[in-house]
Structure 1
Amino acid sequence: MPFTVPARPPVRRLLPVAALLLVPVLAACGEDDPEETAATPTPSTPAASDPTSATVTESASTPVETEPVPVVPAACTLITGDDVAKAMGVAFEPAEQGGGATSEGDLDWQSDNCSFEAEDLVEVSVKLTFPDDFTKGDFTCPMPSDINGVVEPVDDVAGADQGWWKVSNPPNFAGNLRACTAEVLVEVELDYEDGVDYEGDPRQQAAQLAQLVLSNLQG
């Protein structure tokens, strides 16, 4: 008797259903983490400073200190015609201010002069020389040349550290007294007219005038 294979019950196709069930799972796995996908805030850039609003501090300028320039007095401010008249015993005309230059040996210097004249008798010149007035050689108290006269040291002028007195050879008489300190050279020149008989002691008279000038320089 022939064997008949029983018919298999029909198989339901579940594949589409299974695929549909996997869709939510895949969708859930494919979603990004909300914390990771959140936009990262961009750091703010500091605003550039406004150059017009910046405060500029200017340093106060420091004044440059300069050494004061010493004031050199003029000869005519240190002695008057009355002073000369008192020392010499005669009246003099008003003072005449001037300047001069002297050259002796290796030294050259300039001077500020103040001259007084007693007409037909004598002319008295007071000369001031300071260290800066030496244009050749160092400041010193130079001994006058004795070629045409007699020179002797002077140590009796108050206020002077060193001094010299020169008297010319006869018959014309002229005297020159120099009295010096470390700051100034004072000269007193006496130039008598030819043939004049002079009274008093010219050396002492010149020393008296030099001493007065040195005293007035000290103030």
Structure 2
Amino acid sequence: MKSATGLLFITTLMMALTSCAQKSGNKPMQTGLKKQDLSKYSKAYFAAGCFWHEEALFESVKGVKEAISGYAGGTTRNPTYEDVETGNTGHAESVEVYYDPSQISYETLLKVYFAGQNPTQVNGQGPDLGTQYRSIAFYTNDTEKKDIENYIQQMTASGNYKAPIAAQVMPLKKFWIAENYHQDYIAHHPDQGYVQAVSIPEIKAFQKEYPQLVKPDHMF
């Protein structure tokens, strides 16, 4: 019979391997944001669990030019990954989505956002638990706020959900860009344990349900 200590170690190890909260080891990586002119695109902001697969999910959608991982929803200035992972900063792992409104509407972005998560899970997504992984639909103007609220009302009225929609609706006050090694994480680490076990299956599930929204060269 395995000891309680041994079981605790195994459980902790499994959680570490299947969690977005993993240390970088501060190793330099050839990853990061490419310098590009994104000024002509509109922006939208969302949080729904680990930003690694939120970023990859949105980047796979037609009409989206770029998605950037970062932090929003809290009060701490200049937050680091280690700060946010404590759950004490108020921030959630978030993405800044650059999109072409002539190709994709804000309402369709909301469809992508809610379809790519469990919208009824409170303070987390899958194995990622804590306020830093909570779902938040951020708005930057009254029109976006109304669109988000209407979409949630439609979801609630559909009768497809046994629990209330858990996503918060909040004004965006500040988006802090995450460290370079988090950007395009899945593209640079496709064989990483969490990516294989959690991120890619979730993206595949979305793409299977909405293939018409996916860029041909971004199918997983």
Q: Place the TM-score, normalised by the shorter chain, in its bin.
A: under 0.3
Q: TM-score, normalised by structure 2?
A: 0.27
Structure with more relative contact order (C-alpha pairs < 8 Å, separation 6 or more): 2
Q: Give the number of the structure whose alpha-carbon radius of gyration is greater.
A: 1
**What is the TM-score normalised by the length of structure 1?**
0.27
Report which of the two has the higher share of helix.
2
